[in-house]
Amino acid sequence: MRILIISDIHANLGALDKVLIDAGTFDKVWCLGDVVGYGPQPNITIERLRSLDALCIAGNHDWAVLDRLDLDEFNPEARKAVLWTRQQLDLINLEWLKQLPERVPTQAEKFSLIHGSPRYPIWEYILTPPIARANFEYFDTPFCFFGHTHVPIIYQFSEKEGRAIAHELPEILSVPLGPEKMLVNPGSVGQPRDGDTRAAYAILNLDSMTLTHHRVRYDIKSTQVKMQQAGLPSRLIQRLGQGW
């Protein structure tokens, strides 16, 4: 069974559709939150995930759009995008956002899915091995997928050393999962922040228990034009072309 794992789409439909084509066949989609915010096509992006029957959890931008988070916590551009998204969303898509859980254990309790961190699912950024180390205490499954930082990475828990070890996620190469606990970030579909502008995703093969990380080019210009037309902040438009 092949599972497509995506995160931080941020209403960038052009990037999402390219990922869906590039991924080939898959049996399920797991989505790690921040479906909307920043990008220009929130309704169709949600509709795409609904049509795929994706197993999806909530991110901080999704919650902000639902008025569940204090907008003062967001920078001015992100706040502007949240307010714009709020005005755009159809009722049915808002309802879909509302029912997204904060975390799920899934697939025979082998995997946890969260947006930020197991400790604080909506807000905490796992940016360093010590933060990852602290978070290994907060999930019971062998593996946990997370997003939020928009940077692909694997943190492996070394029992012998009592610390988390960071590994870059190599492109295309199959990475075996286990035997130790792991925290895995597939990167961002709609706003990569690791200096690589291509959309990021991962394929989990449950038969071989391996993970492959993929990057795919999409029409950045077309997304940027749509953002311009929507009147979204220029800083958000620029960053897509630079990968930060």
Contact between 124 and Zn ion per CB under 5 A? no
Question: Which residue's CB is nearer to Zn ion, number 63 or number 111?
Answer: 63
Q: Is there a contact between 116 and 123 (Cβ–Cβ < 8 Å)?
A: yes
Question: Residue 176 Cβ, how far from Zn ion at the closest point, in Å?
Answer: 28
Contact between 8 and Zn ion per CB under 5 A? yes
Interface region with Zn ion, contact rule CB under 5 A, candidates 3-11, 104-112, 153-161, 218-226? 3-11
Question: Residue 115 Cβ, how far from Zn ion at the closest point, in Å?
Answer: 8
Q: List the one residue out of 79, 54, 55, 45 whose CA is nearest residue 65.
A: 79
Interface region with Zn ion, contact rule CB under 5 A, candidates 4-12, 69-77, 78-86, 97-105? 4-12
Q: Which residue is nearest to Zn ion (CB)?
A: 34
Interface region with Zn ion, contact rule CB under 5 A, candidates 2-10, 105-113, 123-131, 163-171? 2-10
How far is residue 205's CA from residue 53's CA, in Å, rounded to a whole number?
19
Question: Which residue's CB is nearer to Zn ion, number 145 or number 157?
Answer: 145
Interface region with Zn ion, contact rule CB under 5 A, candidates 26-34, 72-80, 98-106, 217-225? 26-34
Q: How many CB atoms lie within 10 A of CB 107?
A: 17
Question: Which residue's CB is nearer to Zn ion, number 34 or number 124?
Answer: 34
**Could you tell me the two tokens for 184?**
């895995």
* Total residues binding Zn ion (CB under 5 A): 2
Question: Which residue's CB is nearer to Zn ion, number 177 or number 183?
Answer: 183
Question: Residue 101 Cβ, how far from Zn ion at the closest point, in Å?
Answer: 17
Q: Is there a contact between 192 and 223 (Cβ–Cβ < 8 Å)?
A: no
How far is residue 51's CA from residue 160's CA, in Å, rounded to a whole number?
44
Interface region with Zn ion, contact rule CB under 5 A, candidates 6-14, 103-111, 130-138, 209-217? 6-14
E strands present in 20-92? 28-31, 55-56
Contact between 34 and Zn ion per CB under 5 A? yes
Q: Using CB atoms within 10 Å of the CB of residue 51, give its burial: 0 to 12 exposed, 13 to 18 middle, 19+ buried.
A: exposed
Q: Give, to the nearest 10 degrees, the angle between helix 91-98 and helix 42-51.
A: 60
Backbone CA torsion sign across 62, 63, 67, 73: negative
Question: Residue 78 Cβ, how far from Zn ion at the closest point, in Å?
Answer: 9
Binding residues for Zn ion (CB under 5 A): 8, 34
